Amino acid sequence: GAVVSQHPSWVICKSGTSVKIECRSLDFQATTMFWYRQFPKQSLMLMATSNEGSKATYEQGVEKDKFLINHASLTLSTLTVTSAHPEDSSFYICSAPVWGTGTQYFGPGTRLLVL
């Protein structure tokens, strides 16, 4: 199947710093990517839809100024958690759909711990 990578796989930072997470589709192009957040023992919660060449679409309750998304190319989307606080600690996962199939492939996730 298609491969999606994420970097870094885990990050620990101090409160108030910004953290950037990259999501790459390695063997296919993705004009759209999705960013999810997952709390322990819960399902994935969609945060935003990242669109190449245009603004991201955020789900209700997700602060766009807090979670900056940039879809710089057809294979790369980045999520920046700005001025991170301990409550932002979570598991962040991206996915990329294969156009026309309805199939999506997920990255391995990034665990963020804000101290």
Partner 1 sequence: GQQLNQSPQSMFIQEGEDVSMNCTSSSIFNTWLWYKQDPGEGPVLLIALYKAGELTSNGRLTAQFGITRKDSFLNISASIPSDVGIYFCAGGNSGNTPLVFGKGTRLSVIA
Which residues lie near partner 1 (CB under 8 A)?
1, 4, 6, 31-32, 34, 41-44, 46, 49, 59, 91, 93, 95, 97, 99-109, 111
What's the min distance (Å) between Cβ of 83 and partner 1? 26
Please state, in angstroms and as integers, the Cα–Cα distance from residue 65 to each residue in 31, 40, 68, 82, 88, following that order: 22, 25, 6, 8, 14
Q: Smaller CB distance to partner 1: residue 62 or 82?
A: 62
Alpha-carbon 106 to chain mean position: 10
Q: What are phi and psi of 65, to 5 degrees?
A: -80, -15
What's the min distance (Å) between Cβ of 16 and partner 1? 26
Q: Smaller CB distance to partner 1: residue 34 or 84?
A: 34
R_g over Cα of the chain:
13
